[in-house]
Amino acid sequence: MRRSASSEAAPSPENASGARTKTVGIGRFLRYPFHGERVPDQESDTRRVGTGPEPADPVGASRKPTLGDPDGPGWRNSSPGHPAHRRPGTPWAEEVNVDTFHRHREPRAAETIHAKRDDPVRPKATTGQRIVEIARGRVGSHSINGAYGATPDGNDGAPCRPDAVKRIADPQRLDPIQQADKKRDLAVLAAHTHIVDSKLNIDRYCICGGNYNKFGGARTASPSDRDLNDDLNSLKGQHPTAWRAYCIHFTPRRVYGPASGGDIGGKRVWGQSCKGVRHFDCVGFISYCLWRATDQIVQLAIGLWRKPGQPMAGSKVYNLSVGQKPDELRDADILVKADHHIAWVDASGTIIEAADTDVGVVASGRFDPKAHGSWTHLVRLPL
C-alpha cells in the first residue's frame, strides 16, 4: 500500500487549529510532476502540509492560492489538487509557489483576448531590416572561399551555388605531417571547396579553418601534441560515419584558402567541426541574405556590385574614395573594398561580414561615413 506524505515523517507539534503539521519537500507531496516542471529540492523549497482541516483565514485577510484552490490561477476542476478530488485525510497545502507550479497553464480565452487587445501594434519590418536580421542570424557561421551558405554535403545554399561545400571524412587523411598534395593533407570533418574557372584562370582548393581564432577553445596544433595524436589514433579503424568531434566541438585540419596576408598555406589547427554549419565567402554571404529576404537570386563578382545598375536597377553607388557619402546609413547598405571584399552594414554602422576563415561570419566592425577608411564604395539597393 502506498504511504502518504503525512506518514513518512515524524509528526510535529500541533498548530493553533489542532492540525498536526510537518515540513516536507514539495516534490514528496506531489504524486507526480507536471509536464516540464522542475521538482524543487527538499532542502531548498519546502511547504507546510497537514492532514487535519485547513487553518481558518484571519478575518479580512487576503487568501493566497493553494494547491487545491479552484480560484488559484491555472487550476481547473479536473486538477488532482481540486477539493472535489481530495479525499478526507489527504494533505492540504498553503503558500504554494504559484510562479513555479502554474507555468504549464495555458491562458484562458478571456486572458488571451485581453493580451491581444493590449499588445502594442508592431510595425512591419522593412526589407532592409529583414536582411540585417538574417545576416545577424548567421554570425558564427564558417567562412570558406566559394561558399554561398551551404552546409557540407548539403544542397541548401543560395540557388546560384547551392552545393559548393563538401565534407572531408577520409581515413587516408589522418596524418598530421604536411603532404605534397594538399588534397591529401590532414582534415577531419572539415569542409572544403574546389573552385575552377577556366575563363578567369582559377583553380583553387580550400579547407575551412573552423573559426580557429574566434571559437572558444580552438587553436593551432603541433604534430607532437598528445591530444592530437590520441584523437587521430582513436579514429583509425572506425568508419567515418562513426567519427565524433574531439571534446564535442573540435576537429584537426590543415587550412588552405585566401586570408588578409595571402593564402594560409596549410596551417595545422584545431577548428570547430564543420558538420552541419553553414559556410560563406564574403560575396556569397551578400547573395544568400538578399535571396532569403527578397527571393532574388544574384551572383556577381565583388567588383560588379559597385557598378551603377548592379545588382539591380535603381541601385545607388557612393564612391567613398572621392568623398561621396550618404547623409545617413540605412539597414542593408553594402560596403565594398575595391574588388576584394564586400559586407553588409546596418543603420547604426555595425558591419556584418563573412571575414577570413579563421574567424568566420562576424558583426564586430564599425563604419563611419565621415571616416570610411579602407572601404571604397557604399551601395544602396532599392529595397
Neighbours of 314 (CB within 10 A): 9
Residues 100 and 295: their CA atoms lie apart, in Å, by: 45
- For residue 186, give the nearest of 64, 283, 297, 271 by alpha carbon: 271
Tell me if 193 sits within 8 A of 202, measured CB to CB: no
Residue 259 pLDDT = 80
Tell me if 358 sits within 8 A of 214, measured CB to CB: yes
| DSSP symbols for 208-220 | --TTTTTSTT-EE
Residue 327 pLDDT = 92
Q: Read off the pTM.
A: 0.69
Residue 125 pLDDT = 84
Residues 205 and 211: their CA atoms lie apart, in Å, by: 18
Residues 27 and 40: their CA atoms lie apart, in Å, by: 6
- For residue 337, give the nearest of 375, 383, 281, 293 by alpha carbon: 375
Residues 353 and 339: their CA atoms lie apart, in Å, by: 15
Residuewise pLDDT in 10s, the chain (383 residues): 444 444 444 444 444 445 444 444 444 434 444 444 444 444 444 444 444 454 554 555 544 444 444 444 444 444 444 444 444 554 444 444 445 444 445 555 544 444 444 555 567 789 999 999 999 999 999 999 999 999 999 999 999 999 999 999 999 999 999 999 999 999 999 999 999 887 778 889 999 999 999 999 999 999 889 999 999 999 999 999 999 999 999 999 999 998 877 789 999 999 999 999 999 999 999 999 999 999 999 999 999 999 988 888 899 999 999 999 999 999 999 999 999 999 999 999 999 999 999 999 999 889 998 887 899 999 999 98
Residue 5 pLDDT = 44
Residue 106 pLDDT = 53
Residue 248 pLDDT = 94
Residues 275 and 241: their CA atoms lie apart, in Å, by: 12
- For residue 308, give the nearest of 336, 287, 276 by alpha carbon: 336
Parallel/antiparallel/unpaired status of strands 267-272 and 219-220? antiparallel
Parallel/antiparallel/unpaired status of strands 46-50 and 21-25? antiparallel
Residue type, 261: G
Residue 121 pLDDT = 59
Structural domain boundaries in the chain: 1-109, 145-277, 282-380
